[in-house]
Structure 1
Amino acid sequence: MTKLTKRTVDTTEIRSSDYVIWDEDLPGFGLRVFKSGKRSYVVQYRSAGRSRRYTIGLHGVWTPEEARREAKVLLGQVARGGNPAEERKLDREAITVKELCTRYLEDLKNGLVLGKRGRPKKLTTISTDVGRIERHIIPLLGSRRVRDLAKSDITQAMKDIMAGKTRTNVKTDKLRGRAIVRGGAGTAARTIGLFGGILTYAVELGIIEQNPVHGVRKPKDQVNARRLSEQEYRTLGDILRKAAEDRQYETTAEMIRVIALTGCRRS
């Protein structure tokens, strides 16, 4: 053992195989010397009965004094029950929004993601979801790690969609087909609603513990609440009476009459 200083680090000998020099003042803090001549600062500790090694960084990028301060912080985390090496591993393996969406779409197309009433989504719905994912969610949030998402990220993405920042005009696979993508409040509300479902899917997979979309205030989607005028109802009544005279359309006419009078819908 020796105290790791710039002088001792610079004068370490190169051997035929890698080896570690441990600091005499800070137990667990060391310098790994590679047979290539490179040197890196490390921390060695035990967690859950296992010996773990955490690489702080290369000498030259880190000075001995900076590496020692970092080692003290890391060993302090270990003393409080942390595991820096495992946390770094999980951090590097953290799934991105784009990767999550790819996995979601695969399960969606295989009928493994259920929609309303516990049934697989229809092909038309899947097509719409794909468009919102590829043209809004991925361009705005695709590179972000799912575990790092916050309500502020969701809110900003929603505002960007409302402002038309994802507006585009792209060619589709269909002959002479084009997709004109516009922004707006309605598009933003529906896209964030879909993203909320995708993040619920991530919660179910154990990727995250909570859904950051919960609590985000979405703009009200435009709903068509127009009713027929009195004259239009009279016209519809005349048509239904004439249709009912033909026994072939009698049942259909009565069904339309009930819908018109009650506003009843299948949903």
Structure 2
Amino acid sequence: MRPIGLPVLEYLEDRRQEEEGAENYVFPGWEDDTPFGSFPRHWTKLLEKTDLAGITPHVLRHSFASIANDLGFTEATIAALVGHSRGSVTSRYIHTVDTALIMAADSIAGYIQGLLDGVAFRHTSYALDRNSRKLALAHFLGKPTPKGRSAERSAA
């Protein structure tokens, strides 16, 4: 199981609501209340009226992985998002989507949506020093801000 970024989920929900008589399917089949069918057969039709017309699934997959790498996600996270095998026997039995992957999918999909919408991004860096990590953990756990340099940062 792989997470889908929030912008994609919202697009799919909007698409499902736009389709007449498509209560059960985002991409309904040719006949009433039938599924869409196999993905490769419909790829061209799905993208024909979009900015992505003519682009193959392989190109999108490669671009997604490259953008994820550019955004600083680890190779392991990217591999999990695109469905590459983790290589362990145990991983074959685990079919959960963890929060980190959902957040990564949302971040990457949001960034791609921003690119498509012409958003001008500002560079942001994240501090991984111990005090910043303590502050983030305290915030997550709902604890008071730790004393020291990180407390000064939170006041700013």
> TM-score, normalised on structure 2?
0.33
TM-score by length of 1: 0.22
Q: Larger Rg: 1 or 2?
A: 1
Higher relative contact order (CA 8 A, sep 6+): 2
**Quick check: which one's strand share is greater?**
1
